[in-house]
Structure 1
C-alpha cells in the first residue's frame, strides 16, 4: 500500500514540474491551438457531410 502512495506522489511531483516549466509558459498558445484545431475539425466535418449526403455531387 505504501508503494502505491509513493508512486502516486512521485507521479504528481513530475506532473507538477512539467506543468510549471513546460506547460505554464505556453498555456495561451496551447489553448489557441486547441481552439483552432477544434474549429477546423468541425468545419471539415460539415464540408465532408455535405459531400457524402449528396449523391449527385459525385
Structure 2
C-alpha cells in the first residue's frame, strides 16, 4: 500500500498527527445530543481519516 495516512494534518516533531479539536464539528453533526454528558469520544477527524485510508 503506497498511500500515507492523514497527510492533510500537521505532525509534531515526533511524527504524531495533530488532529484539530472536533467539538464544534461534533455539535454541528449531532445538534440534538448532549455531547458533554459522555466524555469518551473518538475524534471525528481521526475516524474520518481512518475511513478514508482503508476505503477505496
| Larger proportion of helix | 1
Check whether TM > 0.5. no
Query: Over alpha carbons, which structure has the higher Rg?
Result: 1
Q: TM-score range by the shorter chain?
A: under 0.3
Query: Higher relative contact order by CA 8 Å / sep ≥ 6: 1 or 2?
Result: 2
